[in-house]
Chains A and B, each alone.
Chain A
Amino acid sequence: MLYVENLNKVYKTGTVSVTALEEVSFEIKKGEFVAIMGPSGSGKSTLMNILGCLDRPSGGRYILDGVDVSVLNDNELAEIRNKKIGFVFQAFNLLSRTTALKNVEMPMMYAGLPMRERRERAIDALRRVGLEDRLEHKPNELSGGQKQRVAIARALVNNPAIILADEPTGNLDTASGEEIMKIFEQLNREGVTIILVTHESDIARHAKRTLVFRDGRLISDVS
């Protein structure tokens, strides 16, 4: 499903080069719920960007759903992001001028689906996160938890191979955070592969497997 081998990432700024990831290898199978943990600077954000096809590794291989994505160009990566990856960000990253429904429709818009199908699937996705009565609300009319649920619906809507959640509860109070984690657990039970990046062990507990990073290296892999 998802296979990472000897992954390296080196940032060069002028003469200084910083190694963010060093020889990282692991495999995630379909239907897994994995937490990636580590303190800040451990390389988990870098890994997240590479897994999300937003960035390319400096070395090593990354195979997602049978495709070696480490060799793809920008346009091909955009297509992979569109079809195979659903993002959930800490800052929600919804378009503020746009309704919940339109936000959820957006990935399908870039996939080129017909309008009617988009609408139906977006409504369906919002129903799955319990927001069927908030379709026409704009992000500023929604609570933090509701915003994150819209973001989850948006991540789900193209039936991606994996959902990448980067500190999804970081901007939420504990109750809303729990609610969001329950949704992830529910989705996972339905067969969705979820990769969760967090530095809170309370949150990581919801996952079935935990990868811990420190200084760019994978130091433990506990199921």
Chain B
Amino acid sequence: MNIFETVIVSFSSIWANKMRSFLTMLGIIIGISSVMIITTLGLGVQGDIKSEFSRYGLNRADISMKWDPKNPPVYRDYITYDDVETIAGMQGQVEAISPRISRYVTVKGNNKNYSILLNGVTPDFLKIEKVELLKGRFVSDQDEKAKRNVLVLDEKTAREIFGTVDCLGETMTVSSGFRSLELMIIGITKVFDSTMAKMFDETNDKKGYTPVSIMRTITYNPNLERISVAIDQSFHVKTIGDMLIGFLERKHKAPDKYRLFDYNSNMDEVTNVFGIVTKIVSGIAAISLVVGGIGIMNIMLVSVTERTREIGIRKALGAKRKSILYQFLCESVILSLIGGILGLLLGSTVGFTVVRLLKLPFVISIGATAVSVVVTIGIGVVFGVYPASQASKLDPVEALRYE
């Protein structure tokens, strides 16, 4: 009896007890599908985090002042325009650099006050972070050099203040508490709204951009507090970031005053945590596979008893122990495998639906699929061996006499 026939015989006996076989598979179906759903969800969240982070630029390093109350930065520690020039000149390693000053400021529009996070940036900021314009334009070099009183708002803020995005040319009073300036709206940026953004970024705050030069005036602060740097993709962000910090520390003779925020390693950290959580939860879900396996073993034992006579007949006709063993083992493996495949289908479908509802990216995990198939085959073997060996050891005379 070859493998092909063993498989056919197994299928026909599974098919002969459709309901029972299905109920037996249910444990495996539930186990595999829950692992699949959790994995799909986990991968979806990770994918979302990745795309979220990539919006801020994955090859990006932000260097800011370290605010240690015991050792606060003093005037000479602050990053200067000269530093920015030097770093911008590191060609091949640095693709773009934008100094930044970010502050919460009060804007007055329509006789109401709003708090927005105003970012003083240079035009190169667009090369670092993905900012898409809905209307108008972004801060330009001329704006920066000529200290033009311009303001770019995000869509949400514009709608909240003006009820429309058609507000180009409107002027607003922006004040930091030190000084107030009249700024004219020249552009509206698109808002990315996602679950992850809410968790990891200030995106949810009202947001605006203005030239760094204007920001320095408003905040009455000549210092640059932060630089965002886009690093050439052939380099490791952390390496170059550390190098830049080293440069600043030497230049200002100020050790331990600068802080590197490396988006890439931050993302890795977050996705790693999610990866671990996913694995733990799917591991817990996989426990139900053991329950499923016990179900298979149970039903196989019943099946061996029920088919004692058939086993007797097969033995009388010349079936060796091995043939009977393989036949029952094959049956339990197929039972488990079909359950696994149904579980994969069910899990992917449910996972797909949930992920779509949450607006997360759908990633099918080849690894999880392969592991599921291997695990279900393994369950079929492990829980099928005992019943199958019971079957193979039956005494033909007794088996033939069995009613």
Are A and B co-members of a single complex? yes
CA distance A210 to B317 in the complex (A): 26
A95 at the interface (CB under 8 A from B): yes
Which chain B residues lie closer than 8 Å to A93 at the CB level? 309, 312-313, 316, 400
A55 touches B397 (CB 8 A): yes
Q: Given A89-B400, A93-B400, A97-B16, decide whether A154 and B317 contact each other with a Cβ distance below 8 A.
A: yes
Interface residues on B, range: 20 to 34
B315 at the interface (CB under 8 A from A): yes
A111 touches B318 (CB 8 A): yes
Which chain B residues lie closer than 8 Å to A82 at the CB level? 317-318
CB distance from B322 to the nearest CB of A (A): 8
B400 touches A95 (CB 8 A): no
Chain A residues 56-106 with CB under 8 Å of chain B are 74-75, 78-79, 81-83, 87, 89, 93-95, 97, 106
CB distance from B306 to the nearest CB of A (A): 12
Which chain B residues lie closer than 8 Å to A95 at the CB level? 310, 313
**10 closest Cβ pairs, A-B complex:** A82-B318, A110-B318, A78-B320, A107-B317, A54-B396, A93-B313, A54-B397, A81-B318, A75-B320, A109-B1
A52 at the interface (CB under 8 A from B): yes
B316 touches A52 (CB 8 A): yes
Our count of residue pairs bridging A and B at CB distance below 8 angstroms stands at 60
A87 touches B1 (CB 8 A): no
B316 touches A106 (CB 8 A): no
B12 at the interface (CB under 8 A from A): yes
A49 at the interface (CB under 8 A from B): yes
B80 at the interface (CB under 8 A from A): no
B321 touches A75 (CB 8 A): yes
Q: How many chain-A residues does the 8 Å CB contact rule pick out? A: 25
CA distance A40 to B318 in the complex (A): 27
CA distance A204 to B3 in the complex (A): 43
Report B's interface with A, CB cutoff 8 A. Answer: 1-2, 5, 12-13, 16, 309-310, 312-323, 396-397, 400
Which chain A residues lie closer than 8 Å to B318 at the CB level? 78-79, 81-83, 107, 110-111, 158
CB distance from B1 to the nearest CB of A (A): 5
Most chain B beta carbons < 10 A, residue from A78, A94, A110: A78
Q: Given A54-B396, A93-B309, A109-B1, decide whether A87 and B317 contact each other with a Cβ distance below 8 A.
A: yes
* Cβ contacts A5-30/B at 8 Å (1 or 0 each): 00000000000000000000000000
Which chain A residues lie closer than 8 Å to B321 at the CB level? 74-75, 78
CB distance from B187 to the nearest CB of A (A): 76
CA distance A78 to B396 in the complex (A): 10
Q: Given A74-B321, A93-B400, decide whether A81 and B316 contact each other with a Cβ distance below 8 A.
A: yes
CB distance from B19 to the nearest CB of A (A): 16
CB distance from B401 to the nearest CB of A (A): 9
CB distance from B97 to the nearest CB of A (A): 75
A49 touches B397 (CB 8 A): yes
| Contact of A106 (CB < 8 Å), options: B12, B309, B312, B317 | B317
CA distance A89 to B397 in the complex (A): 12
Which chain A residues lie closer than 8 Å to B317 at the CB level? 81-82, 87, 106-107, 110, 154
- Closest residue of chain A to B392 (Cβ to Cβ) is A74
CB distance from B4 to the nearest CB of A (A): 9
Most chain A beta carbons < 10 A, residue from B5, B13, B320: B320
CA distance A170 to B197 in the complex (A): 83
CB distance from A115 to the nearest CB of B (A): 8
CA distance A54 to B1 in the complex (A): 20
- Closest residue of chain A to B316 (Cβ to Cβ) is A87
